[in-house]
Amino acid sequence: MSLSERIIGSNQGLLAEMVQLKYTAMSENAFRFFRGTCELFYQDLKLFKQLPASPLAWICGDLHVENFGSYKADNDQVYFDLNDFDEALLAPVAFELVRMLTSIFLCFDFLELEEVKAMNMVQVFLKNYAVVLTTGKALAIEPRIAKGIVNTFLQAVCKRKQSRILEKRTEVRKRKVVISLKDERHFELEEEFKKELTGHLTDWIKLHNKSPYNYKVKDAVFRLAGTGSVGTKRFMFLLESELKRGKYLIIDMKQSQPSALIPFVKVKQPIWATESERVVFAQELCQHMPCALLSHTNFKGDSYVIKEMQPTEDKIKFRLIQDQYRDIYQVIDDMASLTAYSHLRSSGRKGSAIADELIEFGQQQDWQEQLIDYAFNYSKRVKKDYKIFKQGYESGIYSKGKITNTPFVVFSDK
């Protein structure tokens, strides 16, 4: 099967117009191409028979340097942690680690940093991951204990006000605060569909124990965000307090798809009522504290994850610190700790290895070089595949993919 057939096949069933935007994003550079082709990564990983044996854990499934960030939890504390669990599954931890290592090689290449620095950094990541595993204790990274650039980052996001996100996402139209359609990531909804959607969220607010009580829905749009998830149905809602005029919340509602790992993980999985139940279970388990309002719902035959969008949500922008090697070192070191904490938190749950098995794995050394070698070689393959994809994209191959569209999004330039 050709690369183009594999890519088009992995995006079947998604929203056609949005998939075209995904392809555009993937054409920017090899690192973003990697972020948009998680399924291809696992198709190729299946062929690598010598991947070292490793304990089972609840893994993020799509771990890379852009899937760590800040968020506010239900306890109003801001944390730095893993923050994307769309692909989460019970799987060998080696799967998680080798994808993360590959992302470091590709990110450093994107930043035009020397290959030797990337190699040093993947060694730093694995060394600290193993050391943290051997402690058997899962901690958290929050402003009071964060170090270096991560501390500076968290202190900065803590000072942001809700007005910041409102200024970026909303506008006043006909004397009403609504979600801005000037943002190229926001798309207008058909009126009848919008009515059904806002009615569903209104019911969720009234009936769900995780919902923000005494709020009403004021507006809704289709939202475009990320890279790998572009093409899924995703909506953003503006809510206003019924008790305090002018107090707003913004809610994200994202469709969940089956995990890209499912065909390649030969481990019996729990039976979930919906894909969103799986995602929320893994996120609640693996994060120190789940993000605010995290829950799931079903709408018109699809399942969705719901969470609050916050001014404290952000990612480390590596482009801004590419000349600050010590800061990059600290960030990668912290990401290694967070990955180990995540696996330790999931220990002994629904088939995952107990903490003692993870500790023993961390004490071993032989598996580290094997993962580094695979990630290094695979990063070279990703760059070659990216060049082939870019040529195909520019020649129009990917505009011919016949992907079933759905009628509810109205593309408007209002």
| Residue 168 Cα distances to 230, 250, 413, angstroms | 21, 11, 18
Angle of helix 115-135 relative to helix 355-363, nearest 10 degrees, comes to 140
For residues 149 and 202, membership in a common domain is answered with: no
For residues 133 and 251, membership in a common domain is answered with: no
For residues 130 and 65, membership in a common domain is answered with: yes
CB atoms within 10 A of CB 92: 20
Instruction: Check residue 406 and give its pLDDT.
Output: 45
For residues 125 and 95, membership in a common domain is answered with: yes
Residue 271 lies in a domain: no
For residues 137 and 225, membership in a common domain is answered with: no
Residue 337 lies in a domain: yes
pLDDT one-digit tens code per residue, 58-81: 999 999 999 999 998 888 899 999
pLDDT one-digit tens code per residue, 275-302: 999 999 999 999 999 899 999 999 999 9
Under the banding of pLDDT at 50, 70 and 90, the label for residue 202 is very high
Q: Are strands 170-173 and 248-255 parallel, antiparallel or unpaired?
A: unpaired
For residues 213 and 295, membership in a common domain is answered with: yes
> Last residue of some domain: 275, 309, 343?
309
Residue 377 lies in a domain: yes
Tell me: pLDDT of 108 over 90.
yes
In the numeric block, which tokens belong to residue 65? 């340097």
For residues 185 and 333, membership in a common domain is answered with: no
Residue 408 lies in a domain: no
Tell me: pLDDT of 254 over 80.
yes
Nearest to 133 by CA among 103, 94, 165, 172: 94
Instruction: Check residue 314 and give its pLDDT.
Output: 83
Instruction: Check residue 61 and give its pLDDT.
Output: 95
Instruction: Check residue 253 and give its pLDDT.
Output: 97
Under the banding of pLDDT at 50, 70 and 90, the label for residue 49 is low
Under the banding of pLDDT at 50, 70 and 90, the label for residue 413 is very low
HEC-encoded secondary structure of the chain: CCHHHHHHHHCCCCCHHHHHHHHHHHCCCHHHHHHCCHHHHHHHHCCCCCCCCCCEEEECCCCCHHHEEEEEECCCCEEEEECCCCCCEEEEHHHHHHHHHHHHHHHHHHCCCCHHHHHHHHHHHHHHHHHHHHHCCCCCECCCCCCHHHHHHHHHHHCCCHHHHHHHHEEEECCEEEECCCCCCEECECHHHHHHHHHHHHHHHHHCCCCCCCEEEEEEEEECCCCCCECECEEEEEEEECCCCCCEEEEEEEECCCCCCHHHCCCCCCCCCCHHHHHHHHHHHHCCCCECCCEEEEECCEEEEEEEECCCCECCCHHHHCCCHHHHHHHHHHHHHHHHHHHHHCCCCCCCCCHHHHHHHHHCCHHHHHHHHHHHHHHHHHHHHHHHHHHHHHHCHHHCCCCCCCCCECCCCC
Tell me: pLDDT of 86 over 90.
yes
Query: Region 333-356: what's the mean pLDDT?
Result: 97
d(CA 51, CA 34): 20
Query: Region 337-347: what's the mean pLDDT?
Result: 97
Query: Region 237-265: what's the mean pLDDT?
Result: 93
Query: Region 209-215: what's the mean pLDDT?
Result: 87
For residues 148 and 14, membership in a common domain is answered with: yes
Q: What is the mean pLDDT of the chain?
A: 91
Instruction: Check residue 402 and give its pLDDT.
Output: 46
For residues 141 and 15, membership in a common domain is answered with: yes
Under the banding of pLDDT at 50, 70 and 90, the label for residue 113 is very high
pLDDT one-digit tens code per residue, 21-37: 999 999 999 999 999 99
> Last residue of some domain: 245, 280, 309?
309
Tell me: pLDDT of 403 over 60.
no
Domain range for residue 318? 3-160+261-266+313-399
Instruction: Check residue 55 and give its pLDDT.
Output: 97
Instruction: Check residue 322 and give its pLDDT.
Output: 80
Residue 279 lies in a domain: no
364 Cβ contact list (under 8 Å, min separation 6): 130
Residue 413 lies in a domain: no
Instruction: Check residue 213 and give its pLDDT.
Output: 83
Q: Is the pTM of this model over 0.85?
A: yes
Q: How many domains does the chain contain in total?
A: 2
| Residue 255 Cα distances to 165, 190, 302, 400, angstroms | 22, 18, 7, 25
For residues 156 and 7, membership in a common domain is answered with: yes
For residues 166 and 187, membership in a common domain is answered with: yes
**CA angle, residues 301, 307, 310, in degrees to nearest 5:** 145
Under the banding of pLDDT at 50, 70 and 90, the label for residue 409 is low
Under the banding of pLDDT at 50, 70 and 90, the label for residue 412 is very low
CB atoms within 10 A of CB 292: 20
Residue 277 lies in a domain: no
pLDDT one-digit tens code per residue, 149-172: 899 989 988 888 777 788 888 999
Tell me: pLDDT of 339 over 60.
yes
Tell me: pLDDT of 263 over 80.
yes
For residues 101 and 112, membership in a common domain is answered with: yes
Report the amino acid identity of residue 70.
S
Share of the chain above pLDDT 90, in %: 74
Tell me: pLDDT of 401 over 80.
no
Tell me: pLDDT of 231 over 60.
yes
Residue 275 lies in a domain: no
